[in-house]
Amino acid sequence: MRFKISMINDLGNPHEETIIANNEKKARRTVQKSNPKSKVLETNWVYK
């Protein structure tokens, strides 16, 4: 499954990433590991 994750960093700049993961919780954890100073705003499942 693919998830589009919207985030905002500590400077207030928004950005998005597309992560391939088995479920939403795992996608959020993966994105938090690569962007520890960013706050996850929303996670959406997207089609290929």
- Domain tally for the chain? 1
Structural domain range at position 34: 2-46
Q: What is the pLDDT of residues 15-45, one digit of tens each?
A: 999 999 999 999 999 999 999 999 999 999 9
25 DSSP 8-state letter:
H
**Residue 43 CB neighbours (<10 A):** 17
pLDDT of residue 43: 95
Quick one: tokens of 3?
């998830």
- What is the pTM assigned to this prediction? 0.83
- Grade residue 9 by pLDDT with cuts at 50, 70 and 90: very high
